[in-house]
Structure 1
Amino acid sequence: MQITVHAAKTQLFKLIEAALRGEEVIIARGSEPVVRLVAIPKTTFKIGLLEGRVTGPGPDFLEPMDADALDLWEGGR
């Protein structure tokens, strides 16, 4: 669907709904297409994504670092 900027101003809600349904919405100045209106895909965050794939004990972040590792973190070589 191609629509002019002037018409898009008055029909923005309808254009957003069309883009959410997957329709291609092009906004044009006169007859020249200048903008494509697209929906932003929804992303989901899944907790436990690596559950069962990572084995063994993880690092203990409450234990002090050894001197060599601490030196690297502090910019030493």
Structure 2
Amino acid sequence: MKIFNIHEAKTHLSRLVDQAARGESFVIAKAGKPLVKVVALNAPEPAQMKRRGFLAGQIVVPEDFDRLGSAEIEQLFTGDA
């Protein structure tokens, strides 16, 4: 996310508002300290964004996932050939 100081934001306000309306949010800072985040009104709230399970049914995790490569890893630690 881009950060603009107040002077730069005032100078390019129209362009920045258009970008925010297209979903490209930005932050306005004063003396390098972030003050506000500008987002589109129709942007989903963080609580509305659904992340968990978004790949459900698209990937398969093997049953032995936690043991994959264990023999090779053990060999690296013990030095047995």
Higher helix share: 2
TM-score by length of 2: 0.48
Rg (Cα) greater in structure = 1
TM-score by length of 1: 0.50
